[in-house]
Amino acid sequence: MLWYYLSLAGLFGGLVGGMGMGGGTLLIPILTMFLGVDQHLAQAINLLVFIPTGIIAVIIHAKNKLIDYKVFGIIIFPAMATAVGAALLVGKLESDLLKILFGVFLVLIGIFQLYQAIKASIDRKKKITRPVLKHNLYPPRNKDF
Amino acid sequence: MGAGIFIGIINGFFGGGGGMICVPALILLGLSNKQAQATAILIMLPISIASAIVYYSSGFVDWNSVLFVSIGSVIGGIVGAYLLKKLSNNVLQYVFALVVVAAGVRMLF
């Protein structure tokens, strides 16, 4: 029956990821908390699951000319180096300690997301009210005036 | 470059979450929302492959689990992308943020 729950966890993570929110950030705690998967294994699952989806998404975005290759070129090399270093380090950590650190990371990232959601709400409100106010206070003038 | 260093550390160490830092960092660098999301995926891809190789060589990969989670994830990803077009407000963003905080607190105890 475990395959059923694993697919369900993937379905939920994919659903959240497809909506543009961190699918993996949620998939890892689902795997560890509800299915009892070891923290290291859950993190490896998340990394590998992202690869096929990521390849498809990159092909679509490249066709739509949405990728900035200059920025990619600047960021990718230091990111690769530190990612490999961090992955090597994590293998030496106890699973329980890693779980606690991941919990701290989740709390911080959640607070950051909350801040971004509030900011997006404020921006949305401004967009709705600004044109109405503009129209009432400053009626369109004649260009020759 | 600083952003790259930080993104790599987070994604390598926690096996995910790098994208959630990468997108706002790219927006700060002047990319549009859509460009930032697209470029972030291209950045996350080689990082994830490299990290996954290290995890694999350290013996942390269970291929059966990867297969079943992937099947669910692909279906969920398609449904999620479809639902995104229908959403008109950011209520889900609030729900997501609160669930992430709750999951984090739960993992601490």
| pLDDT score, position A135 | 54
What is the pTM (predicted TM-score) of this model?
A: 0.84
The average pLDDT across B22-33 equals 90
Total count of domains within chain B: 1
The answer to whether residues B39 and B18 touch, using CB atoms and an 8 Å cutoff, is no
Predicted complex ipTM: 0.89
pLDDT at residue A1 greater than cutoff 60: no
Rounded (5°) CA angle B72-B98-B82 = 40
The average pLDDT across B5-23 equals 90
pLDDT at residue A137 greater than cutoff 60: no
Selected residue with higher pLDDT from A60 and A136:
A60
Selected residue with higher pLDDT from B106 and A129:
B106
How many interchain CB pairs under 8 A, A with B? Answer: 352
Q: Do A100 and B108 touch (CB under 8 A)?
A: yes
The range of the structural domain enclosing residue B16 comes to 2-108
Rounded (5°) CA angle B104-B19-B16 = 50
Q: Do B41 and A17 touch (CB under 8 A)?
A: no
Give the confidence band of A48 by pLDDT, cuts at 50, 70, 90. Answer: very high
Listed in order, strand segments (DSSP E) in A28-96 are: none
